[in-house]
Structure 1
Amino acid sequence: MHALSFGTWWIHVASVFEWLLAMVLIAQRGSRGSQMSMIWLSAAMIPALISAMAACTWHLYDNAESLRWLVTLQASTTLLGNVTLAIAAWNLQRDAPVDMKVKG
């Protein structure tokens, strides 16, 4: 746990909880309004959450060489998360009312 300062730990942990809360709130809003695209957005956020948890876990154990595979897991889930969030954003745009669509 000595690899990061208290302030950096605070930001890491707070960000993970904030992301988790956002996922829950987005899913709830999607459920209330029967908006499947919102529910899919919440699900698309899961890989990024896994990525953040992998990074925190690796730092928790002082960047132990035996846990180096967590770096690969983090990189992979970051890539996957970026792709799933891009697809979810496209899905939201596709399902948006005509007057709210971005014109380009």
Structure 2
Amino acid sequence: MNALSFPTWIIHISSVLEWTIAIWLIWEYAKLTQQAIWRGLAFAMLPALVSAMCACTWHFFDNPPALEWLVTVQATMTLVGNCTLAIAAYQIWRSRATTDREIL
């Protein structure tokens, strides 16, 4: 656990907690507004959360060579997460554009 300083650990852990809370809040927003499209965004956020958890696990065990596979998983989940978030954002934008046209 000495791989990172205490302040850096605080940032890592708070980032994971903030991301978890953001997923939960978006899920609740989807329920409140009855708009299932927002659930897609919550699901799209999960790979990025997995990526962050991989990074924290890697650092928690002092970056051992035996766990180098976590670095690959973390990088892959970052790529997947960026793609899923872009898709979810596009779907939300598209659904809003459709709704806006219906109002006019």
Q: Tell me, yes or no, whether TM beats 0.5.
A: yes
1:55 has 2:55 as partner? yes
Aligned-partner Cα distance in 2 for 1:12–1:86:
23
AA partner of residue 18 (structure 2): E
Report the secondary structure of 2:2's partner residue: coil
* Structure 1 residue runs without a partner (length 5+): 100-104
1:45 has 2:45 as partner? yes
Q: Percent identity?
A: 52
- The one-character-per-residue Cα deviations of 1:59-80 (angstroms, maximum 9, x if unpaired) are 0000010000000000000000
Aligned partner of 1:102 in structure 2 is none
Aligned partner of 1:98 in structure 2 is 100
Alpha-carbon shift at residue 51 of structure 1 (Å):
0.1
- The one-character-per-residue Cα deviations of 1:43-98 (angstroms, maximum 9, x if unpaired) are 00000000000000000000010000000000000000000000000011011142
* Structure 2 residue runs without a partner (length 5+): none
Aligned length: 99
Q: CA RMSD in A?
A: 0.9
AA partner of residue 89 (structure 2): A
Aligned-partner Cα distance in 1 for 2:41–2:34:
13
Aligned-partner Cα distance in 2 for 1:22–1:72:
25
Give the TM-score taking structure 2 as reference length: 0.92
Give the TM-score taking structure 1 as reference length: 0.92
| Misfit runs of 4+, over 4 Å | none
Aligned-partner Cα distance in 1 for 2:19–2:31:
18
Alpha-carbon shift at residue 32 of structure 1 (Å):
1.5
